[in-house]
Chain A
Amino acid sequence: MSGTRGSRRNWLGIAWVMVLLILGGCSDNPPPVVPDSVPSPPAEEFSEAAPPPPPPIAPRVSPPVVPEDEFASRSLEELNRDSPLDPAYFSLDSSRLDASAQRVVEANAEVLRRYPNWIVTIEGHCDERGTPEYNLALGERRALATRQYLVELGLDPTRVRTVSYGKEFPFDPGHDDRAWAENRRAHFVITDR
């Protein structure tokens, strides 16, 4: 697992070097407009084995400033592959956030406060035992309950979208208690920033 991730980072490093070479190569032409979203510095950071120390608490100023840390330079795909936001899990046929699910949402709220420009979509998911039709509503209920708690914790509601996938996209394809528990979740996806 970690080997795969390491080699993926190496490849990304190479990709970034190529991006820089391409951008550099264009400099003979009229001054290139480098988009704000191009992160810097890129290459070295991805080859580091250990992540940098935790970022400081986000400043309470507007417009929001993106903290200078590992997440700033990652693509949305990268961020979601190794997400700092954990899923909240539910019990069977329930959309109630129990104590441990609440703790997860509270921790996610902290992360979202630290990155005030992140927009998240909360996906509601169900295990395979219910019918696909009812599970669409149940998944929506899970997503809405999670969103509601985030809003109660003070998060700007416009930053939190919801979507239900019912039982269509299980995270664990198994057919046992462990797989089912894994699949009853509110899954946080960073969809914009």
Chain B
Amino acid sequence: MTKISRRVFVTAFTGVVVAAVVMTAFGSVSLQQDEVSLIIGDSIGAQPSFAVPDCLALTRDTATTDAATVIAEVLWNDLDFEGEFRLIPRDVYGTIPSARSIIDLPFDRWQELGADGVVSCTVAAVGDGQIEVSARLFSVRSLESAFGVVYTGSNRNLRAYAHQLADEIHRTQRGLQGVARTRLAFVSDRDSQTVLGLVENRPVKEIYLADYDGANVGRVTANRGLNTNPAWSSDGRSIAYTSWLSGFPDVSISHIFEGRLSNPMSGNSREQNFLPAFSPDGRMIAFNSSRDANNDIYVANVDGSGLRRLTNNPAIDTSPTWSPNSQQIAFTSDRTGTPQIYVIGVDGTGLRRLTYETYCDRPTWSPPPFNEIAYSSRTGPGHDIKVLDLATNEIRQLTFGLGTNESPAYSPNGRHVAFMSTRGSGLKQIYTIRRDGNGLRRITSSGNNEMPSWSR
């Protein structure tokens, strides 16, 4: 197998809150050389076992020694998240010394632990706030390097190195689009402020952002009011949400890299707009409005032009979500007396009912390659997350009666669902779960957190 000498430069990790806008930048990445990688694991599809020991700190400053641990911990979590590898707990191999090169690697001890692959990395300070992270994935069985990469960049967001490394390992080892560098937008009351207004003691809810694993939290809105239902644009540059800033709900868009806000649907007290959803092709927004005196679904171009009423029924039609090809919209309607999920073409044709349950809402269409819709279904006193496979019409349930479980959102690779649950403390928290119902993780812990939207 070919030895690897790929070098990847990473620059400018920032997570700076500027007034009402969070700026994040994951800088330019340049691949200098390509390679063919060795795939670790047998051909029958069993999960290979991976170990991720602490990196070796090549310089003795605190920033570097911190980085050596943080990067390994985060990488372990990132690799565990997709469920493609069996990650051996890190405390098991705390006594195995970190290696600087393949020559130092104690292969016999890793074999003893049953590891198929070991990620071995070094970290060194290389100048003003800069670090160099060098990582290699070794096959314990063949004593070879399967993958290697060198990153240099700022030491401010160490987790980003692990996230990029995890995405590269998933891509090269499993042909998988990882989500370690994606972000979640959500609603939180964590700053415990109250709304300024004529009625007292109402909690402020603002839009926040976090890495997919809950780290690096920043605020998108700071208007000391009610802001809900964040929805990412497909290019990851904008977040639309419902804001009550003007005293009534309207669709607001934070253009997070431009530090700009817009209200493209130009709502007023008689034409109120809420629950925006960007089309995957980035051209349109679907939302709910009562501008014609009844709750219906409307679509418009992202700049607010070309406004069109899509549904026209005296019942409530709400919660729009787009199909992956931007040609259909699934939504909630109570036209039969209870809220159920329907689908309709963007041209207004082909209306079809999808669910026949007690109470269903917040459909969320998966990205490809899956063709399914996750939704919240009343299963008892509370709700559970279910998934409808559109090819087979089969329904599978992801949560089972612990607290209430609402507002599902797909990861960009379709393999995970983020949702709000009140399980445990009774507070609203955001969790992620794999689409097969395994791998539940709690993402938030401060205050109440709900209505997640996952960046593409």
Question: Could you tell me which B residues sit within 8 Å of A by CB distance?
Answer: 198-200, 202-203, 205, 226, 228-229, 242, 244, 247-249, 269, 272, 274-275, 288, 290, 293, 295, 316, 318-319, 332, 334, 338-339, 359, 361-362, 376, 381-383, 406-407, 450-451
**A77 CB within 8 Å of chain B:** yes
Q: List 24 A-B contacts (CB under 8 A).
A: A76-B198, A129-B381, A130-B359, A131-B359, A131-B406, A132-B450, A133-B275, A133-B319, A133-B362, A134-B316, A134-B334, A134-B339, A136-B318, A137-B295, A140-B290, A140-B295, A141-B316, A162-B248, A162-B269, A165-B226, A169-B199, A169-B226, A187-B199, A189-B199
**A80 CB within 8 Å of chain B:** yes
Whether the pair B407, A136 counts as a contact (CB closer than 8 A) is no
List, in ascending order, chain B residues with CB within 8 A of A121's CB. Answer: 247
Partner of B249, one of A129, A134, A163: A163
Whether the pair A80, B275 counts as a contact (CB closer than 8 A) is no
Whether the pair A131, B362 counts as a contact (CB closer than 8 A) is yes
**A164 CB within 8 Å of chain B:** yes
Which residue of chain A lies nearest to B337 when distances are taken between CB atoms in the complex?
A93
Whether the pair B249, A136 counts as a contact (CB closer than 8 A) is yes
List, in ascending order, chain A residues with CB within 8 A of B202's CB. Answer: 169
**A48 CB within 8 Å of chain B:** no
Whether the pair A138, B332 counts as a contact (CB closer than 8 A) is no
A 116-149 contacts with B by CB, 8 A: 121, 123, 129-134, 136-138, 140-141, 144
List, in ascending order, chain A residues with CB within 8 A of B290's CB. Answer: 140, 144
Whether the pair A163, B247 counts as a contact (CB closer than 8 A) is yes
List, in ascending order, chain B residues with CB within 8 A of A80's CB. Answer: 198-199
Complex: how many Å from CA A146 to CA B358?
Answer: 27
**A9 CB within 8 Å of chain B:** no
Which residue of chain A lies nearest to B451 when distances are taken between CB atoms in the complex?
A132
Given A140-B272, A144-B293, A163-B244, also A131-B205 (CB < 8 A): no
Which residue of chain A lies nearest to B320 when distances are taken between CB atoms in the complex?
A133
A 67-111 contacts with B by CB, 8 A: 76-77, 80-81, 93
List, in ascending order, chain A residues with CB within 8 A of B198's CB. Answer: 76-77, 80, 189-191
Whether the pair B248, A163 counts as a contact (CB closer than 8 A) is yes
Whether the pair A131, B249 counts as a contact (CB closer than 8 A) is no
Whether the pair B228, A131 counts as a contact (CB closer than 8 A) is no
Which residue among B198, B228, B248 has the maximum number of chain A CB atoms within 10 Å of its CB? Answer: B198
- Can you name 5 extra interface pairs (CB under 8 A) apart from A165-B244, A191-B247? A129-B382, A131-B361, A133-B318, A136-B275, A136-B318
Question: Could you tell me which A residues sit within 8 Å of B by CB distance?
Answer: 76-77, 80-81, 93, 121, 123, 129-134, 136-138, 140-141, 144, 161-166, 168-169, 187, 189-191
Complex: how many Å from CA A161 to CA B450?
Answer: 28
List, in ascending order, chain B residues with CB within 8 A of A144's CB. Answer: 290, 293
Complex: how many Å from CA A136 to CA B321?
Answer: 16
How near does chain A come to B377, taking the closest CB pair, in angstroms? 10
Whether the pair B199, A136 counts as a contact (CB closer than 8 A) is no
7 interchain residue pairs of minimum CB distance: A131-B361, A137-B318, A137-B295, A134-B361, A137-B316, A133-B319, A80-B198
List, in ascending order, chain B residues with CB within 8 A of A136's CB. Answer: 228, 242, 249, 274-275, 288, 318
How near does chain A come to B26, taking the closest CB pair, in angstroms? 31
List, in ascending order, chain A residues with CB within 8 A of B229's CB. Answer: 132-133
Given A132-B450, A133-B332, A141-B316, also A161-B381 (CB < 8 A): no
Complex: how many Å from CA A4 to CA B272?
Answer: 38
List, in ascending order, chain A residues with CB within 8 A of B269's CB. Answer: 161-163
Whether the pair A81, B275 counts as a contact (CB closer than 8 A) is no
Complex: how many Å from CA A131 to CA B228?
Answer: 13
Complex: how many Å from CA A4 to CA B205?
Answer: 28
